[in-house]
Structure 1
Amino acid sequence: MSETVCRLIGEASKGGIVAVCDHASKRVPEGIELGVTPETLEKHVAWDIGTAGVCERLARRHHIPAMLCDISRLVIDMHREEESSGLIPTSSDGILIPGNIGANRDARLDAYHRPYHDMLGKWLDAVEPGLILSIHSFTPELESKPEEERPWELALLYNEDDRAAQHAIRLFSELGVTVGDNEPYSGKQLNATMNRHAEAKGRPYCAIEIRNDLIATETGQARYAAIIADVAGRVKLALDTEAQG
């Protein structure tokens, strides 16, 4: 498996729970000049802060293997369809990405996006998971919309298939977590990876958004990995029970 596109942590068992993280890395491959500052590459526009640590703990401590993208979403966004206008962003949350203006779209698709989704698809086909966790994080406040309130600690996104999400929303709420239901943005619009690899295949999934200030430290990452692993196990049990009818 190419380390330039993604990395896999843990061994999956058929029918089990797996995790996917499209925005785990801020890495910009050699030869690509985005024209942004090092400070920009630390911001949420470049990666989903904290998610790599959460997924590593899910895999190593809770036996939920994970596939993590190893390319910054400023290079190409794995969580967008190929034809999406946001695939190679020229600006993000008010920050200009000058190196992406006029970028060779097909070259980046061939080098990163297509190999990532090919690897992810083959992995999921081989594993036949009973539940997929798609792990993302969101910033407490957008720089371009500082007035917008984002009170949720965690949120579930979904498009057409909300089987797992509805169980998860209930279970997280019972643990005292402030949960968003298709907030702060909707899976009806932003669900590309799960649309392709879960909904299109009839696979249940939980697309989980965690507020990034809660997982910016190792302590926070460990806490939320434990909470998510607990809820995921109970969601899968509920789904299995329903399937047995």
Structure 2
Amino acid sequence: MTQAFTRIDGGSLDLLIVADHASAHVPDDIDLGIEPALLGKHIAIDIGVAEVSTLLAGQLGCTTLLAGVSRLVIDLNREEDAPGLLPVMSDGHAIPGNRNADLAERMIRFYHPYHHAIGVLLAGMTSPFILSLHSFTPTLESDPAQKRPWDIGILYNEDDRAARIAIPMLEEAGLIVGDQLPYSGRLLNATMNRHAEANGIPYLGIEMRQDLVADAAGQERLAALIGPVLFQCRSRLV
């Protein structure tokens, strides 16, 4: 483990699981100026993603790369010039400690090492496939009227090959699946745009509803449902 990421080696299959928002960790020398309780909410971490990623790595025999810091420290799933890279507001909560933070320092410390590690792992694979795993909250604190009833969302930008395989399989498994929901991968796909689409590497982007993976039983259930779908996508596309 480094400050930027945790690498889990589950085996030698040419499949990389990438989890940009898997951690709520804030280094001791960074003060975000927020209540500690906020680090347990979706604004800080994609709940359940680290656990499901780890289960999938063991199930499929592949490598997982988990982000090492909270998205409130730096959002690893943003382009290098994106406004939300260093958030000062998130879902109605102010992050005052980021107002005068040194963005360049955080890029050097966390962002660049994380993305470099992804590139190195992919370069070492003969026929790589990527799973980008995230989770979403059933409602937004800043917009509670907006309901998000899907169990799982599939996101993509230009490359929807894996999405077209995965969506019917997940529906057959009994899940309510959102195609480009709860938001569009054409807007929020920075890590996969950089490492997958720009290099012609097939990938699957999954968003799990957080309340379904908030405990061990839910995490095991989703991992058991996603694993065969992921393996089928890889088998058909590489």
Q: Does TM-score exceed 0.5, indicating one fold?
A: yes
**1:16-35 Cα distance to aligned partner (Å, 9 max, x none):** 22211011100001210000
* 1:144, distance to aligned residue in structure 2 (A): 0.4
- C-alpha change, 1:47 and 1:129, in structure 2 (3 Å) is farther
Counterpart residue number, 2:142: 144
Choose the corresponding residue for 1:29, options 27, 30, 37. 27
Q: Counterpart in 2 of 1:79?
A: 77
- For structure 2, the 5+ residue unaligned runs are none
TM-score of the aligned structures, taking structure 2 as reference length: 0.96
- What are structure 1's unaligned runs of at least 5 residues? 241-245
SS in structure 2 of the partner of residue 41 of structure 1 = helix
Letter in 2 for 1:30: D
Instruction: Write the distance in 1 (CA, Å) between the matches of 2:27 and 2:137.
Output: 25
Aligned to 1:136, what secondary structure does the other structure show? strand
Letter of the 1:193 counterpart: T
Aligned length: 238
Give the equivalent residue in structure 2 for 1:123: 121
Q: Deviating runs (4+, > 4 A) in structure 1?
A: none
* Partners of 2:9 and 2:57 within 8 A in 1: yes
Residue type matched to 2:207 in 1? E
**8 Å Cα contact 2:122-2:128 kept in structure 1:** no
Query: Residue type of the partner of 1:102?
Result: N
Kept in 1: contact 2:130–2:202 (CA 8 A): yes
Counterpart in the other structure of 1:158: 156
Q: 2:46 aligns with which of 28, 42, 48?
A: 48
Query: 1: CA distance between counterparts of 2:80 and 2:126?
Result: 25
Structure 2 residue matching 1:4: 3-state secondary structure? coil
Identity of aligned residues (%): 48
Please list the CA deviations of residues 176-204 of structure 1 after superposition, one character each: whole Å capped at 9, or x if unmatched: 11001111110101000000000011001
Asked if residue 199 in structure 1 is aligned to residue 200 in structure 2, the reply is no
One-letter code of the match for 1:196? R
Work out whether residues 12 and 18 of structure 1, in 8 Å CA contact, stay in contact via their aligned partners in 2: no
Q: d(CA) in 2 for partners of 1:128 and 1:43?
A: 38
Name the counterpart of 1:243.
none
| Kept in 2: contact 1:77–1:88 (CA 8 A) | yes
1:62-101 superposed matches below 5 A: 62-101=60-99
Pairing partner for 1:134 from 132, 135, 142: 132
Which of 7, 14, 20 lines up with 2:18 in the alignment?
Answer: 20
Distance in 1, Cα, partners of 2:126 & 2:146:
39
Q: Is the 8 A contact 1:76 1:89 kept in 2?
A: yes
TM-fit CA distance, 1:12: 4.7
Question: Secondary structure in 2 aligned to 1:227?
Answer: helix
Task: Give the direction of change, closer, same or farther, for the CA distance of 1:215–1:161 in structure 2 (3 Å limit).
Answer: same
